[in-house]
Amino acid sequence: MAEILTFQFFKRIGLIIVDVLLLLAASTIGAWAVFGLQTPPLLATITRLNILAVITILMAVRFYRIRISESSLDVLSRGMTGFVPVFLMAALILGSYLGFRSKWIPYLVITDAFGFMLIMFSRLFWRILLSYRSRQESAHLPRAVIYGAGELGGTLVRQYQKGKLSYHIVGFVDDDANLKGSYVLGTRVYGTVADLEQILLDLKAKVLIIAITEIAQERMLAAVDAAKEAKAEVKVIPSLFEIQQGSKELDLRSLDYADLLGRPLIKIDREPIEEMVHHKRILITGAGGSIGAEICRQLLTYGPSQLILLDIDETELHDLSLALHNWQKEWSDVIVPVVCDVKNKAKLDRILETYKPQLIFHAAAYKHVPLQELYPEEAITTNILGSYALLRSAKEHRTEKVIVISTDKAVNPTNVMGATKRVVELLASAMTSPQTEIISVRFGNVLGSRGSMLPLFMEQIKAGVPITVTHKEIIRYFMAIPEAVGLVFKAAAMARGGEVMVLDMGRPVKIHDFAEKLVKYYGDGRSKVIVTGLRPGEKLYEELLADNDTTIATEDKLVFKARVNGQTITEEEFITEHLPVFQSCNPKEMLASLHTLVPEFISNGKVRHENASSNL
């Protein structure tokens, strides 16, 4: 650090010496133009005072702290700020004493004008020299075209011109056709994304850099298609959400399959979330899962006083705690891993009594639809009885707020998993109180969660085996896990007890078409998409709201409230009529009780309890 500061100090001293010499040259030109070969008695004094005043004001406006290679406007504006006041003051003083018709006025005009131009030209020359050197040094780097001639695209070019980008930028493409033929920082805009394939071929570009934080899926796919045909690698800047979460905007990364879904504009207002979380003790159930782990990671950025990570999977729990401690230790007073089965009410009571969490995120659940069709009693026991145990314990220990992570599969469910989550929503609404607010948040499928279809597709492509899609018309809503969790926090911050919040998961994705895109972009010719038929409990599309629900808009366009007008239940009814049945471990009776609680649950007839779980 000391070496850097020393270098910067001597660099500024060097620039000042250069500018003094340039100002002396300008004074010589001014004197020759006005006085000829004569040397007026005051010339040396006025020249020294003029140079001293200019340099002093340039230092005052931090002119010498500007990076010459970066900001032309800054150099120009601060340079003007240094010269104009000096000229006006000098002209006023000399005019007052020697008369405004004095030859010293044109001398000052010529001297300061030439001084300003010489200093500006010296900076311009240096930038041209740096740019030339950068181009020479980057000639061996991969040639790249930037998609997006906006602010981020310009920033990439600046980095390239300074030799800080590992690509040789040869041009732009942009969606604005009016920019075609124009230049951004000396780099030409060659056309739109419709011309991209030919542009990549003509410019011999090996890399396409997508420098857009918000882009529709159609444009993303068009750009990636063009790059694929031109045999160019695709790099992307982080999305707006990734930048907000701490990624640097110039941290280029490889294309991820999540990018193929487009990049919706998701911006999280941190203030209400921080108010909910900051300096709070927070318990996260299912912490080792994909969603639970992301909840933990994001919560840490809001400064909680303590995170209690609860999960039955000791390996995932250990790995998460280690990662949250930056791989330095396994637990601490701030991050506490707890191995616990969420169905164990007695242990939950001990945990809540010991740590006294003020906020609970309940993400623990069985989620895999086909497997829970085989073993419905396990889904009911974990999802319903485990959730009830947690909610009851939270109420008894006066936890301030519980956020239940629900799912779009709870709406008009056709499978056991969705029906059990709907029951948990009913219990949350029934058990909420002024002392313990309980809310539910529904969202759709998330990208990259353990066992979900898109990571499975990628594994199938790597293995060179067929990609198995259950139906050609099946559609799903998708969102990346970090964005989904960010919206869960937003919903939790604005919700009140008993409410069911719904997230806008974006546009639905046709799975068959998306699978074909993955094969095209990532496949090596061995894999193809095949249709295998709907799995037990699966339906063609998921809904975010039931038919009888009404959506109430909130101040956030991506978060809604669902006013559920259908079935309700009291805790007393659940305890007397359904709890004994669910505790009986009789799959047929448990399913019958589940249908009673969720009358809109219409099974597709593929629940196989009589063939599988009842025999175990």
Could you say which of 106, 136, 166 is where a domain stops?
A: 136
Could you give the CA distance from residue 435 to residue 379 in angstroms, rounded to a whole number?
29
Count of domains forming the chain: 3
Residues 104 and 185 occupy one common structural domain: no
Average pLDDT over residues 135-149: 83
Query: Is position 607 within any domain?
Result: no
pLDDT at 244 over 60: no
Residues 395 and 306 occupy one common structural domain: yes
pTM (whole model) above 0.85: no
Residue for token pair 């990636």: 224
Query: Is position 419 within any domain?
Result: yes
Could you say which of 136, 169, 186 is where a domain stops?
A: 136
Residues 407 and 472 occupy one common structural domain: yes
Higher-confidence residue of 26 and 581: namely 581
Could you say which of 119, 136, 153 is where a domain stops?
A: 136
Residues 148 and 109 occupy one common structural domain: no
Residues 241 and 288 occupy one common structural domain: no
pLDDT band at residue 436 under the 50/70/90 scheme: very high
Q: Are 362 and 399 in contact (CB under 8 A)?
A: no
Residue for token pair 């169905």: 343
Average pLDDT over residues 555-578: 84
pLDDT at 547 over 50: no
Average pLDDT over residues 192-207: 94
Query: Is position 614 within any domain?
Result: no
DSSP string, 219-281: HHHHHHHHHHHTT-EEEEPPPHHHHHTT--TT--EE--GGGGG-B------HHHHHHHHTT-E
Query: Is position 222 within any domain?
Result: yes
pLDDT at 5 over 60: no
Residue 223: partners with Cβ closer than 8 Å, 6 or more residues away: 147, 193, 196, 208, 210, 234
CATH number at residue 173: 3.40.50.720
Structure tokens at 530: 């095949």
Could you give the CA distance from residue 483 to residue 354 in angstroms, rounded to a whole number?
32
Query: Is position 584 within any domain?
Result: yes
pLDDT band at residue 242 under the 50/70/90 scheme: low
Higher-confidence residue of 66 and 237: namely 237
Higher-confidence residue of 512 and 281: namely 281
Query: Is position 465 within any domain?
Result: yes
Residues 172 and 104 occupy one common structural domain: no
Buried b / exposed e along 211-225 (16+ C-beta atoms within 10 A): bbbebebebbbbbbb
> Which pLDDT score is estimated for 614?
46
Residues 232 and 324 occupy one common structural domain: no
Cα 282 to Cα 36, 209, 320, 437, 449: the distances in Å are 82, 40, 16, 14, 23
Residues 116 and 164 occupy one common structural domain: no
Give the range of the structural domain holding residue 152, as residue numbers without chain letter.
143-261
Residues 291 and 358 occupy one common structural domain: yes
Residues 463 and 570 occupy one common structural domain: yes
pLDDT at 611 over 60: no
pLDDT at 105 over 90: no
Could you give the CA distance from residue 493 to residue 511 in angstroms, rounded to a whole number?
33
pLDDT at 299 over 70: yes
Residues 86 and 190 occupy one common structural domain: no
Query: Is position 128 within any domain?
Result: yes
Query: Is position 231 within any domain?
Result: yes
Residues 81 and 162 occupy one common structural domain: no
Average pLDDT over residues 245-260: 69
